[in-house]
Amino acid sequence: MIKLIMSDMDGTLLDEKGRLPEEFDDVMAMLKSRNVLFAPASGRQYYALLHQFEKYKDDFVFFAENGTYVSYHEIELFSSTMKDAILQSLLATTKQMPDVYPVLCGKKGAYVTSHYRPFLSEMEKYYTAYTFVDDFSEVKDDIIKLSLCDADAQDAEHTIYPKLAKYNGRLQVAVSSNFWVDVMNFGINKGIAIQQVQKLLGISPMECAAFGDYLNDVEMMSSVYYSFAMENAHPKIKELANFRAKSNVEHGVIQGITELLEKKLI
């Protein structure tokens, strides 16, 4: 029987306008009545997830920042802090990318420099707790991720990712959407975070389901048996997943959970 269900947010649980399915609350109540945990697993900031799911802050496991920070009952279960030397090297690289907007992601919040204001409408979809700084050297926080946004060409897989190739093997570089590339400690991703929580809670991959759509969901697909690729997913996710769900516009996550219920797996 399934005990834990993870879902990516954008392009997966949320529709094309960033809305939750109408049936969401009813399905969450059903899962809670059956002692099944639900977990948003997203590149979004922890505080952004907490803001969106405030009524569920004591019920959900939150896999935030692509797995670099995990919280349950508002208690940190897992995190991965970046070393300053590699972070400074990354920031130096981003300065050579004039059309890219960096966001420094810490445990206390996110940090952006004031001259990046034009991209705020895109950033605020994922970061609700952020601070403007004149320079990133002012930041006093445990940094868990660097996010880079291509708000102009909107083709991060080709405009940002190749320029970070030199960090492969030293860092984890994940394409999160057409806009975003996330950089974390090597070996850290949604899948690793899920495996840590599985160990902590005594839950096996056969007792887990996950829904995803993009390249930052690759490792998540490999960490559970009931892995669902959305109909609108990247081809690689469809190749890796064991099952298929309808698109996010068709509320595929809700329909997938209903299917698991009908098969008496929940």
One-letter-per-residue 3-state SS of the chain: CCCEEEECHHHHHCCCCCCCCCCHHHHHHHHHHCCCEEEEECCCCHHHHHHHCHHHCCCCEEEEHHHCEEEECCEEEEECCCCHHHHHHHHHHHCCCCCCEEEEEECCCEEEEHHHHHHHHHHCCCCCCEEEECCHHHCCCCEEEEEEECCCCCCHHHHCHHHHHHHECCEEEEECCCCEEEEEECCCCHHHHHHHHHHHHCCCHHHEEEEECCHHHHHHHHCCCEEEEECCCCHHHHHHCCEEECCHHHCHHHHHHHHHHHCCCC
Confidence at residue 88, expressed as pLDDT on a 0 to 100 scale = 94
For each successive 10 residues of the chain (266 residues), what is the average pLDDT?
97 95 97 98 94 96 95 95 94 89 95 76 90 92 95 91 90 89 92 96 98 94 97 96 98 97 96
Q: Let me know whether 91 and 177 are in one domain.
A: yes
Q: Let me know whether 197 and 237 are in one domain.
A: yes
Q: Let me know whether 75 and 193 are in one domain.
A: yes
Q: Residue 148 sits in a domain of what CATH number?
A: 3.30.1240.10
Q: Let me know whether 193 and 181 are in one domain.
A: no
Question: How many independent structural domains does the chain possess?
Answer: 2
Of 135, 164, 185, which closes a domain? 185
Q: Let me know whether 107 and 72 are in one domain.
A: no
In the structure encoding, which two tokens stand for residue 143, read together? 């940094």
Of 146, 169, 185, which closes a domain? 185
Q: Residue 11 sits in a domain of what CATH number?
A: 3.40.50.1000
Confidence at residue 151, expressed as pLDDT on a 0 to 100 scale = 85
Confidence at residue 103, expressed as pLDDT on a 0 to 100 scale = 95
Q: Let me know whether 115 and 172 are in one domain.
A: yes
Q: Which domain holds residue 131?
A: 84-185
Of 142, 167, 185, which closes a domain? 185
Q: Let me know whether 179 and 96 are in one domain.
A: yes
